[in-house]
Amino acid sequence: MQTVQRRTLPLRLPRVRPGGVLPILAILAVLLVLVGIRQPDFLAPPSLMSFLGRSAPIILLAAGQYFVIVSGEFDLSVGSLVTAQVVVAARLIDSDPTRTWPVVLLLLVFGALVGLVNGLITTRLRVPSFITTLGMFLILVGAVYLWSDGAPKGGLSEEFRRFGRRAFEDVPLLGRVPYALLVLLVLAAVAVLLMRSDFGRTLVAVGDNPRTAELSGVRVWRTRTIAFILSGLAAAAAAILLGGYSGVSFQAGAGLEFGAITAVVLGGVALGGGRGSVVGAMLGALTLELLFALMNFYGVSGALRSTVQGAIILLAVAVSATRSSSR
């Protein structure tokens, strides 16, 4: 299918493969130059490292969201899932370091379970994924409120918090390397390997044309459900890093689903599925965070963040719509 497209658009898009990472790399480079002009200190290794560590949760969420979006669905529940995980972790750990690891395990199981439920409702009960995950969003928000009477209780142990907060200090050249960055690198490598495996190809095929995939023997429902589980797991990992970064919070994940979706479309992944790479999605998240950092350096109000996200989503959809109509 992509060969057809390449043949019809030889002049307009020379050598830039749709869904490739070149455009996002170009945007990233431009932003880096702009940041370098305004705030050269930011590009020094220690602050760059801490920026990457701080951005790790949203990059992980973008990777999780990529699996779902490339398979042709959406996951709007990840932000509330992150909040729920942080609140649950604080209450269960209750500042007792010995409970750290069991709770970490529980969070991963909880994330996978929410993904499984999202996936099964979407694929087996045929509820559109906007509705499924929007419902899940409301369920989680309400459940957390009910369970905690509207204010977080307990506390996270230092051991739990170190993933999101601590770093290897005094590393030659780099200064400090946040644990969050290492967690990110490992999980990103896993995501890339996953997308290169048979599962990855199947996932893209399902998003590109579910009927063709079905006819060629793919169990579409199972593939999509796994994508939702991966998104839930990514949310759990992001929650562990975010909770570590800021401590107990009732709004740890507020708005993160939009951040993740914006990052994914910015990274060249088509809404509707079937096109784009997981590396692109993660670079999209990094670019978005860098854009927000730049807005901060120029003193632009934080309120504009959602405006910028909205504009990016609209622009990306418009571009992909023009492309598909020119087929």
Partner 1 sequence: MRRSMAALAAVTLLSLTACATDEPSASPSGSAPAAGSGTGDQSKFFVQADYDAELSLLTATPTGPADKPWEQVLNPKMVDTAKFKKKGPYKICFSNAALNNPWRQVGFKTMQAEVEAQKSRIKEFVHVDAEGKDQKQIADINDLLGKSCDALIVSPNTTATLTPAVEAACQAGLPVIVFDRGVNTKCPVTFINPIGGYGFGHVGAEFVSQKMKPGGKVLALRILPGVDVLETRWSAAKVAFDKAKVDVVGVEFTDGDPAKTKKIVDDYIQRYGTIDGIWMDAGAVAVAAVEAFQDAGKPVPPMNGEDQLDFLKIWKDKNLTAIAPTYPTYQWRTPIIAALRILDGEQVSSPWKLPQPTVTQDNLDRYLDPSMPPLHYAMCGCTDLPGYPQRWK
Report the residue number, 20 or 46, with the smaller CB distance to partner 1.
Answer: 46
Cα gap 90→83, rounded to integer Å = 11
- In sequence order, the 6+-apart residues with CB closer than 8 A to the CB of 302 are 295, 296
E strand spans, 29-151: none
Task: Indicate the DSSP class of residue 178.
Answer: E
Report the residue number, 113 or 321, with the smaller CB distance to partner 1.
Answer: 321
Report the residue number, 192 or 221, with the smaller CB distance to partner 1.
Answer: 221
State the minimum distance, in angstroms, from the CB of residue 8 to partner 1: 17
State the minimum distance, in angstroms, from the CB of residue 98 to partner 1: 17
State the minimum distance, in angstroms, from the CB of residue 197 to partner 1: 25
What backbone torsions phi and psi does residue 169 show, to the nearest 5 degrees?
A: -90, 165
Report the residue number, 101 or 298, with the smaller CB distance to partner 1.
Answer: 298
Task: Indicate the DSSP class of residue 218.
Answer: -
Report the residue number, 212 or 324, with the smaller CB distance to partner 1.
Answer: 324
Neighbour tally for 254: CB within 10 Å? 14
Picking from 78, 83, 82, 51, the residue whose alpha carbon sits closest to that of residue 64 is 78
Distances (CA, A) of 248 to 13, 105, 196, 244, 254: 48, 18, 37, 8, 13
State the minimum distance, in angstroms, from the CB of residue 193 to partner 1: 28
Report the residue number, 168 or 250, with the smaller CB distance to partner 1.
Answer: 250
What sections of 124-197 are H helices per DSSP?
A: 129-148, 158-165, 179-196
Distances (CA, A) of 227 to 7, 98, 213, 230, 257: 32, 32, 16, 5, 16
State the minimum distance, in angstroms, from the CB of residue 266 to partner 1: 13
State the minimum distance, in angstroms, from the CB of residue 259 to partner 1: 10
What backbone torsions phi and psi does residue 187 show, to the nearest 5 degrees?
A: -70, -35
Report the residue number, 9 or 25, with the smaller CB distance to partner 1.
Answer: 9
Contact set with partner 1 (CB under 8 A): 39, 41-42, 46-47, 50, 54, 74, 76, 95, 130, 134, 149-155, 165, 242, 245-252, 254-255, 258, 261, 270-274, 293, 296-297, 299, 301-303, 306, 309-310, 313-314, 317, 320-321, 324-325
DSSP, collapsed to helix, strand or coil, labels residue 77 as: coil
Residues in the chain: 327
Report the residue number, 42 or 192, with the smaller CB distance to partner 1.
Answer: 42
State the minimum distance, in angstroms, from the CB of residue 270 to partner 1: 8
State the minimum distance, in angstroms, from the CB of residue 75 to partner 1: 12
